[in-house]
Structure 1
């Protein structure tokens, strides 16, 4: 039986997912929640080993299907080694990307059949879908500018950042379509606002759902 709360963060490049996850984690820990911050691809030793292969572009030549299989292998290890144990002990898991990124990147813009992606997702997730997904929405041109600005000197764009603006626009539309289809799970937040305004919107949305699910997880002084 699930005891914790699983939140994934999705959106295009430069949307600010890492920043907002860090800020939310700090607020949750201040209220005495057990918080686990993780990411995809990666998050567990096996998955981290696959991360470089994917983001470096080394698997790109093998085609989108092989890339999807690598993501799936990494996700399966991530779920079973880190996410599921954390949820079962009652923790809140904040994950930078999860299944929706695969649906969008390998499914929609990778051109893989929905039936293939659905079957792969079902096996790799094995019932561990997010309780809530925060989609940070931003215009791709602005997002790519942000991604370029944060990159260290000498670093090059990763496998996905280097793709065309048109491809990123299709991904934005795909994320918004997922949110529209699954409103009970997804909430869309305007990531073009200031980091503080985005933080406030994320905090409001998360705590509204979380406190209905886990009110007893806070300490006696958590509400102070």
Structure 2
């Protein structure tokens, strides 16, 4: 028997179409009920219960109880990172869902990836922070420079309060852009600030992030695209 981690079990869990749909739905970062996940997967609640049990046993999702209500969420950012990478790989190979339309364009523009900003806007923000040396790539990961500390603090992010979070910063492969966007505690905090400032809001019907006209202007001012810095 070969030594080392066994990826076949996890691959089989994720590879089932119904379970893959459930996991994708949980990429919004929201906790969903079994009934809601059954609807996302296009299966009966009874079948969904069997799939959810397998995902729990595989430690891909976690149960969250609120009073009498039971919700399911991804087990952590490591799971979302794997799913996002798989979505990028599938997209690059032409393996796309048959459902297309305006929602797909909005998801490519800006969406939530577990708890941080993804899509074209997410990549723009990450690239801008790197170009302006606010984020620095090192052999040990991503660090925030002194200029970056001052910048995110000016945006209202309590960077000192995030220092205990792990990871503070990480790059996350964007499935639609197939480039990196910013994850980790700082990525989550920056998206939260955009929502608090009224720049953007989460769509009720999808993972899309909808920016207001003023929010787009403020975003481009804070994170100018290449050529405008």
TM-score range, shorter chain: under 0.3
- Higher-Rg structure is 2
Report the TM-score when normalising by structure 1.
0.26
The structure where strand makes up a greater share of residues is 2
Higher RCO (CA-CA < 8 Å; seq separation 6+): 1
Report the TM-score when normalising by structure 2.
0.26
